[in-house]
């Protein structure tokens, strides 16, 4: 592909070579009060993530885990917003759970999560995306390395990396059962990926992403700079991580399930526009276009 003239600092998938570029935007957008300590904010700014142990107590986790199991058991794999593993009928993800009218809707407005998002993003926030990811014992498949923001920018039209994910651990996430893996400080760089995005790419990417993923050479470069860390912790812990942090996870060959709820908070000043990759919009279960401000 020939290079494309663009003023977009986050252009990607336009040429046949990868590139690592500096991130022109801040990581911490505000300095207001919130649930995260100054030390936690420093860690988040430097590493791109922070783990808050046991933010939710045992009773709360039990209720959330039961609701997740109910959502999984009721999920219809024929629906676009329900993703099954490619090699089995096991449910991999259930999307848009923050609009369930019950448990996960209440979770999405919880001040322990939304308050931290407001603190980091420096504005009111809304839920851009929500999902439950299941990694059952023995059968949980890996998630490839990727930056969420690269996809959200190119395929959904998110202007800036002024968003973050809050991963609520519903089970113990240990080193052995496929926890979140991150490349520390990679959020301060932007990896331009190769390959032109196919039509309706989301139908394949949610099972096995092939576009918007970094090359092996890019990953070697990033790991040489920052290494690899994991977001482990007991059930009830929360991993907050920047939208541009390079992350993934391995498969789960243990008998121990690894189930997490992901809530993506976006700044109201960063609402999605038309996709920058010049493709039709993805469905709203992947990118909310109604900005429903999370109440304080």
Cβ atoms 161, 244 nearer than 8 A: yes
- Name 214's Cβ contacts closer than 8 Å, sequence gap at least 6: 18, 145, 146, 147, 191, 193, 222, 246
| pLDDT attached to residue 1 | 38
C-alpha 107/C-alpha 187 separation (Å) is: 26
126-164 pLDDT tens trace:
999 999 999 999 988 899 999 999 999 999 999 999 999
> What integer pLDDT is reported at residue 3 of this predicted model?
44
What integer pLDDT is reported at residue 204 of this predicted model?
A: 55
Residues 6+ apart with CB under 8 A from 43: 49, 50
Placement of tokens 């504005």 in the chain? 123
Tokens of 71: 């959502």
What architecture does CATH give domain 19-270? Sandwich (2.60)
Q: What percent of the chain has pLDDT over 90?
A: 82
| 3-state DSSP of 116-171 | HHHHHHCCCEEEEEEEEEEECCCCECCEEEECHHHHHHHHHCCCCCCEEEEEEECC
pLDDT digits 0-9 by tens, 249-265: 999 999 999 999 999 99
* pLDDT tens digits, 79-98: 999 998 877 778 999 999 99
- Global confidence as pTM: 0.94
Instruction: Summarize the confidence of residues 87-111 as an average pLDDT.
Output: 92
Confidence tier at 33 by pLDDT (50, 70, 90): confident
């Amino acid at each position: 592909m020939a290079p494309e003239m663009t003023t977009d600092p986050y252009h990607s998938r336009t040429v046949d070579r990868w590139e690592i570029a500096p991130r022109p935007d801040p990581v911490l957008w505000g300095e207001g009060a919130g649930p995260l300590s100054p030390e936690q904010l420093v860690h988040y700014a430097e590493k791109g993530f922070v783990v808050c142990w046991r933010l939710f107590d045992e009773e709360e986790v039990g209720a959330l885990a039961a609701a997740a199991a109910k959502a999984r058991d009721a999920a219809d794999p024929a629906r676009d917003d329900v993703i099954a593993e490619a090699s089995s009928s096991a449910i991999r993800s259930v999307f848009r759970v923050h609009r369930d009218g019950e448990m996960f809707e209440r979770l999405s407005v919880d001040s322990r999560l939304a308050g931290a998002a407001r603190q980091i993003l420096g504005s009111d926030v809304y839920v851009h995306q929500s999902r439950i990811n299941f990694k059952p014992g023995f059968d949980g498949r890996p998630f490839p390395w990727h930056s969420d923001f690269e996809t959200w920018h190119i395929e959904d039209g998110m202007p800036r990396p002024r968003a973050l994910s809050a991963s609520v651990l519903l089970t113990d996430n240990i080193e052995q059962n496929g926890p979140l893996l991150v490349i520390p400080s990679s959020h301060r760089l932007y990896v331009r990926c190769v390959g032109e995005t196919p039509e309706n790419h989301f139908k394949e990417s949610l099972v096995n992403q092939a576009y918007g993923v970094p090359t092996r050479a890019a990953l070697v470069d990033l790991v040489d700079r920052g290494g690899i860390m994991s977001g482990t912790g007991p059930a009830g812990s929360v991993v907050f991580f920047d939208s541009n942090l390079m992350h993934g996870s391995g498969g789960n060959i243990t008998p121990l399930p690894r189930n997490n709820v992901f809530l993506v908070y976006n700044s109201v000043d960063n609402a999605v526009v038309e996709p920058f990759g010049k493709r039709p919009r993805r469905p709203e279960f992947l990118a909310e276009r109604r900005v429903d401000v999370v109440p304080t």
